Amino acid sequence: MQFTEKLSNWYSQFIIWRVKKIPHQNFLLILAMIVGLFSGVAAVVLKNAIHFVHVFLTEGFDFTRWNYLYLLYPMAGIFITLLYVKYIVKDDISHGVTKILYAISKKDSNIKAHNSFSSVIASTFTIGFGGSVGAEAPIVLTGASIGSNLGRFFHMNYKTITLLIGCGAAGAISGIFKAPMAGLMFTLEVLMLDLTAASIIPLLLSAVVAASVAYFFLGEGAEFTFMLETPFDLETLPYYVILGIFGGFASLYMTRGTFYMEGKLAKIKNPYTKWLICGLGLSVLIFVFPPLYGEGYDTITAMLSGASDYVVKNSIFYSYKDSWFVILLFLLLIIIFKVVASTFTNAGGGVGGIFAPSLFVGAVTGYFLALLLNYLGADLPVSHFTLVGMAALMAGVMHAPLTAIFLIAEITNGYALFIPLILVSSISFLTNRYFEPHTIYTKRLARRGELITHHKDKAVLTLMRLNKVIETDFMTIHPEQTLGELVKIVAKSKRNLFPVLDNNQRLLGIVILDDIREIMFNNELYTRTKVRHLMTIPPAFIESDENMDSVMKKFEDTGAWNLPVVKEGKYLGFVSKSKIFSVYRRVLIHFSEE
């Protein structure tokens, strides 16, 4: 007990000393570097853990034969993850990036402490055993959790904690790919943090520190080995335009296919039944199409080197490796079934993200298109299209063209292809966004109006809480009360509006003072006029779980200054325009302060 008190006193004294001695901006830079350090270490640990499990399970597989263990490993990995999450973590840790966005918009940037390690453990089992997802979303949630909890430990404000979450995300991407610029761009495009002079330096520091940690432990090599076959030729530009359009539609298929399957699988309520169906489906897919095993980065490396025979390793298609038609069919089926495999993995209880699947499908898409065009008479560098295809899918799925451009350039040392990277990423992004305004990360939140965007007005409305603007000081009346009784209530009230409730507290209507002003002093009507004859129906009702964007739309549509709030028909209070504007100004100042 004494030790706890001493620790608490020391902590309080340190916080006071820090505030007095270290300026806020300087301390923020220190925290950004610490977040980058721990995010980089977490990325290295996760990367090595997945690699170790993968090698341990698959070492010795014969490339030329089927491997029946593919039918066992994915199911086992998801089952271990399911038990770990259900009985040890006891919290939902899937959809990591979506959880970060939700924490920023609706939970004051508060991310639970266990997210600093739980996603790393869960995704190691999921991906190491063959789950067809990526480690990036779990590690981004880990980095963001480190930033959030460190900020709360030192009693930082919402703005600073949100920035530290961005530092954690930037550090995580930078650490796992050794790509600091991609980490920075990911934070700005996907997490949608505003780029200001005060935020750019902490984000860069965190990304650089994390990348340095990754270089120290993993060496200086790029994620994928890439050899520039020939210099970029302007004559191939039309083919890259085709790749951009094709990649845009492939990314649209990924987004909509994922949500369609998630919706169908969500109807299965028993987690073990869902695991059995999804795990079995995933295992069969991986058995038939081994490149779907895990992240698929070894397959990407093989395609970058032009080794088409490696792509069909361990599969029933291996004996047809010299048939261009079979190879193209195999690649097309991989593009189709990767979405199914990824959804099965997450829906069945696994933990992983869509980042690596986007890179994988992009690489296969570019490889497929280059082979097809070459068979039709073109002379295209296959590895170039494989690499640029990765950027196309990422730009479309995540609506993050800058992240795609810098990430692919950094992880492959493919800076010589900057022009096609920019062109294809832009076309894919625009193609996808034309049909799908939200990314695979933001669509769930956007449906519920819980997404913060770069649109400052909407961002502020998202941050506002309906329960903070409800006013409850209205005097209620019963429909069977008389005008005389109503006048006595009016005399005591400071409001000019009176909700009419039944015996079950359900809102029946309202009486507005201006509507009864002409008759309220007519004594002859006091006993024979009932409130139910005087009440009117409000122009709209606000449900207690509505978001503020929807509330403001109702005010605009009705022109009202006050609207009632109900929960399942029961009266809770009123919301007024003046109250909303007052709270809006306070939140805007808090949101915008530097």
DSSP 477: B
Residue type, 389: G
Are 90 and 253 within 8 A, CB to CB?
no
What are φ and ψ of residue 506, in 5° steps?
-85, 140
- The per-residue pLDDT for range 376-427, each reduced to its tens digit, is 988 888 888 999 999 999 999 988 899 999 988 888 776 778 889 999 999 9
Q: How far is CA 130 from CA 91, 292, 461, 551, in A?
A: 23, 8, 42, 46
Tell me where in the chain the CATH 3.10.580.10 domain(s) lie.
459-592
| Ordered mean pLDDT values, 10 residues apiece, the chain (594 residues) | 70 76 86 94 92 85 70 92 92 81 78 90 93 90 93 85 91 91 88 70 93 87 64 86 95 92 90 93 91 88 77 71 82 94 93 90 94 89 90 92 89 79 94 86 61 50 67 86 85 84 87 81 80 84 80 80 85 81 60 48
| Nearest-angstrom CA–CA distance, 361 and 367 | 10
| Nearest-angstrom CA–CA distance, 170 and 437 | 24
* pLDDT for residue 453: 47
* pLDDT for residue 423: 94
| Nearest-angstrom CA–CA distance, 40 and 58 | 27
Confidence (pTM):
0.77
Smallest CA-to-CA distance from 531 within 496, 507, 500 is with 500
Q: Which fold has domain 20-218?
A: Clc chloride channel (1.10.3080)
Tell me where in the chain the CATH 1.10.3080.10 domain(s) lie.
20-218, 234-452
* pLDDT for residue 530: 86
* pLDDT for residue 363: 93
Greatest Cα pair distance in the chain: 101
Are 509 and 500 within 8 A, CB to CB?
yes
Structure tokens at 502: 């039944």
CATH of 234-452, one of 1.10.3080.10, 3.55.10.10, 3.40.50.620, 3.40.50.720: 1.10.3080.10
DSSP 399: S
Are 547 and 465 within 8 A, CB to CB?
no
Sign of the Cα pseudo-torsion (191, 192, 193, 195, in order): positive
CATH of 459-592, one of 3.40.50.300, 3.60.15.10, 3.10.580.10, 3.40.309.10: 3.10.580.10
* pLDDT for residue 553: 81
Query: How far, in whole angstroms, is CA 213 from its chain's centroid?
Result: 25
| Nearest-angstrom CA–CA distance, 510 and 541 | 12
Smallest CA-to-CA distance from 120 within 348, 292, 351, 295 is with 351
Smallest CA-to-CA distance from 193 within 102, 101, 97, 94 is with 101
